Structure 1
Amino acid sequence: MFIVIKVASEAPIISVIIPTFHRPDGALAAVRSILGQEGAPSLEIILVDNDANQSCKPIADQLALEAGQTPFTYAVEPAAGVANARNKAVSLARGTFVAFLDDDEVAKPNWLANLVRAQEESGADVVFGPIEARLPAKHNVPHTYFQNFFSRRLDGPTRLIDIPYGCGNCFLRRATVFTKAEPFNPAANETGGEDDILWREVVASGGTFGWAHDAWVYEDVPPSRATWAYLTKRAFAFGHNTTGQWYNRADKDYIRMVISMFKGGAQALALAPLVALLWIVRHERLAWAYDKMWRGLGKVFWFGPFRVGFYGAAAQKKQLAMQKA
């Protein structure tokens, strides 16, 4: 299901994709930051609402008026899941290049122009930009740790890099990266990590990654995420992705899957005593060690009843439960 609100006759150079799930205010801020871009080539905006009830529709109607001559598409992906939402958007994209912005991110005015320049300079198939987290005024976890946890920083100039990052704030060449009808693996709908699986396919096909040192976005962290409970769940789910990606691939690699599980067990066992010690003395490195310990556990217990439903249907059920309460 989708509603095309405004489409230009000529294909744009860049398709900016913003998936959203029950964050109309975040989607509003994200799209407005794209409408305020300076010096960018022709673009279109695709907002995908991963809610069958179309909770973002009123915001989309408002944004359609604000978009002016900028092509704007509001689409609904009723099947819950981060991979489903991204795949829906990709199927609608018409640009030579695709940029992803999350619904909790706000791009600086020169974001797209700097991503384009970085891609031209590096020749990379996928380019990533830095993220600056903006934390809520009150939270009960170490500020420095969570500032770093939600931010993305890499020293040095624009260049080719070896290790990719998450899909939020990335810019890619559509023809070389999206070689399948559904490039994002639906097996990662609830835990995330659909981008990790795709990046491994990019590497396997000889693709390259780049860094745009000045393509900044802000990530607004809600109070519900600046908690120990969220840190635990997210770290555990990240561990799932590290191991599960070897099983979820089309060419399953059971050996690497088992190796990842063993490494995760060793990681958790090694860090558990350190976590206990840092907890007692309330050391500033506690959150870092705690996060790594739970990631190790997530690498081991990544299947069946242990699997954390972080996105998709699990998130939708949680949202419905909260609405009924």
Structure 2
Amino acid sequence: MSNQTQIDICLCTFMRPELLRETLTSIEQQQLSPDINVKVFVVDNDANAGAETVINEFKMRGLIDITYDIEPEQNIALARNRSVRMGKGDYVAFIDDDEVASESWLTHLYDCLRRYEADGVFGPVVPIYPSNAPAWVVESGLIDRPSHKTGTTVVTGATNNTLVKRSLLDQYTGPFDREFGLTGGSDAALFRKAVKDGFKLIWCNEAIVSESVPDERMTFEFLKRRSYRGGQCYARIILAEATLIEKLMWFFKRLAYTTVAILLVPFAMILGTKYTMRAIRKLFLNLGQLSVLSGRYYYEYRR
């Protein structure tokens, strides 16, 4: 055991027991070399311990080493921080509680990180659409996540499909910022900061996890809110490190982009729903950025 490399898988969950069960099952099925030891740390952000029954099922099966804890304060950043503190492995992997990992997911992340001598590596999240998915949702690509060629250097990332060296996380207090705990974005803020501090982050396109798209995400209202929230988070991150001149340039650029997006919407409506939604997404991304000037944020994770 002493010669093994330990990877801690950190998984935060909130009131999604059935989806969590699928995620943990996919972790049980990981194809790993004998020199890798995996420990799973699940933090429930539900003070009522809604995931405990599912966790006990997997403890009884004994196929994975799993530890469970609760973060009672509603805050995704605090839940992530608690999960990181629970382990001591040299590497920390993250996956969401509504995702299913491919059997070689962790192996690809680990091999890629070592091959490119990186400090962190990210992989794609592939959406699985139900048979009743509206055509415009699929064709527009609005739900699709980023994808890059393996080995591509990236400037930020999310904790939905990630492996990082613990030494990176140890450099920062938290390491996730609780101020993003109800809006999201603490992961993007951390990894953007890490790149500025000289850490190397790359992409591994073979390390696939999938995510079933629920009906409530395939609506105009959801995509509008998600775009607005995404714009807010991005602006909060970049403005925190910007000079006065950069802030002024950002403001006038966003104002121009917002104006152009408003003018494009009527023309997009002539071309069809998918083009209309793409134009509206651009509009709300920019409106979200400008809205940070009000100091009022959209709290997607507040329940």
Q: TM-score, normalised to structure 2's length?
A: 0.91
1:16 aligns with 2:9: yes
Give the match for residue 185 of structure 2.
193
Deviation per CA, 1:113-145, whole angstroms, max 9, x where unpaired?
111110111111110112210123324461334
Cα deviation, residue 263, structure 1: 2.7
The alpha-carbon deviation at position 165 of structure 1 amounts to 2.7
Change in Cα spacing, 1:285 to 1:15, as seen in structure 2 (3 Å) is same
Cα distance change of structure 1 residues 120 and 148 upon mapping to structure 2, 3 Å threshold = farther
Matches within 5 A, 1:19-38: 19-38=12-31
Please tell me whether residue 51 in structure 1 is matched to residue 46 in structure 2.
yes
Deviation at 1:10, TM superposition (A): 9.7
Structure 1 unaligned blocks of 5 or more: 1-7, 317-325
1:267 corresponds to which residue? 257
Displacement of 1:292 after TM fit? Answer: 1.3
User: Structure 1 255/196 Cα, relative in aligned 2: closer, same or farther at 3 Å?
Assistant: farther
Q: How far, CA to CA, are the matches of 1:87 and 1:146 in structure 2?
A: 35
Q: CA deviation at 1:26?
A: 1.3
**Counterpart in the other structure of 1:245:** 237
Distance 1:183 1:195 in 2: 9
| Superposition deviation, residue 224 in structure 1 | 1.0
Q: Does 1:172 align with 2:164?
A: yes
Q: What residue number does 1:226 align with?
A: 218
How far is 1:163 from its partner? 3.1
Opposite residue 220 of structure 1, the aligned amino acid is S
Structure-2 change in CA distance of 1:175 and 1:86 (3 Å): same
1:97 equivalenced with 2:98 (yes/no)? no
- Bigger Cα displacement from structure 2, 51-60 vs 171-180: 171-180
Contact kept? 2:176, 2:190, Cα under 8 Å? yes
Distance in 1 between residues matched to 2:247 and 2:196, nearest whole Å = 17
Unaligned runs of 5+ in 2: none
**How many corresponding residue pairs?**
301
Indicate the SS of the match to 2:11: strand
CA distance in 2, matches of 1:304, 1:310: 17
Q: What is the distance in 2 between the residues matched to 1:230 and 1:141?
A: 16
What SS does structure 2 have at the residue aligned with 1:284? helix
SS at match of 1:78: coil
Partner secondary structure for residue 274 of structure 2: coil
Distance 2:80 2:244 in 1: 27
Out of 266-275 and 94-103, give the one that drifted further.
266-275
In structure 1, C-alpha distance between the alignment counterparts of 2:218 and 2:140, rounded to whole Å: 7
Secondary structure of the corresponding residue to residue 207 of structure 2: coil
Q: Equivalents in 1 of 2:138, 2:191: separation in Å? A: 29
CA separation of 1:132/1:147 partners in 2, compared to 1, >3 Å: closer, same or farther?
Answer: farther
Asked if 2 retains the 8 angstrom alpha-carbon contact of 1:46 and 1:74, the reply is: yes
Structure 2 vs 1, CA of residues 220 and 52 (structure 1 numbering), >3 Å: closer, same or farther?
A: same
Note the C-alpha offset of 1:304.
5.0
CA contact (8 A) 1:246 1:254 kept: no
Deviation at 1:255, TM superposition (A): 5.0
CA offsets 1:240-293 (integer angstroms, 9 cap, x no match): 11111245x5x6755544543433222211111212221244253222221111
Task: Tell me the percent identity.
Answer: 27
Distance 1:121 1:101 in 2: 22
TM-align CA RMSD: 2.3
- Whether the 8 Å CA contact 2:157–2:192 is kept in 1: the answer is no
The answer on whether the counterparts of 1:264 and 1:295 sit within 8 Å (CA) in structure 2 is no
